[in-house]
Amino acid sequence: MSHDNLNISQLRDNYPFLNNIWDLYDSFDKPVVGGSKEIYDLICKLATDSLHNDKTEYYNICMKILRNLDLNGGNQVEGVTHSIRCNHVNNWLYNSKDKINLSNKNIMDRIFDLSGTLTKGNKRYECLYYSYDENYEDPINIIRLRIFDDNMEIIKNTLMRKGQQNYNFCQKYMNHKIHYQQLKLIILVVLHLKFQQQLVQWLEYLPYSHYYIRLIQNFI
């Protein structure tokens, strides 16, 4: 099913204060080479063993998913925890899978489940596959909201430095991501995810923020 995609090049131009994140998304698309490629190969052959059609396509995306989730890999970003990285990989995958028409949720679940066999030291990290199309009518706005939440500290710090180069870009980002017409959707999403306090923090940067905050507090 075709859907709207994140335009990373446009996002990079419009919101350069998140360049580290856009760099990460670009790195997710690169071919898998070196490193733990042999381990990824074994896992992906196991994950796609039951397939007859589209086996190559699922194998290829599996290799990238494992590389992108692997904390031992080279494309790490300071301050990005595994849980946030998991969000980014799911966002990237939503943006990518439409291009190659991959819709077998059972296989995607299996790939993400097997990704838990990748460890750093003695610690195992898990990441679940998140099917935006099944959970939301407007997935692309939810993805933008999750990117917003995952980078709240960067956005907050940028807005606190009014004279710096990225201030206007950041303000534009805020105004684009949250406006009155989307408020009801955001309230429902945030309440569902139990992010009430984060929503209040986000709204503090909007015009008439006191009105929005009072409205949110009526729901809490």
Condensed to tens digits (0 to 9), the pLDDT of residues 171-194 reads: 565 555 554 445 445 544 554 444
DSSP 32: P
Claim: this prediction has a pTM higher than 0.75: no
| Average pLDDT in the chain | 74
pLDDT for position 46: 95
* Rg, C-alpha atoms of the chain: 19
| Contact criterion met (CB below 8 Å) for 14 and 173 | yes
Predicted confidence band at 218 (pLDDT cuts at 50, 70, 90)?
very low
Looking at the DSSP bridge assignments, the partners of residue 120 are 123
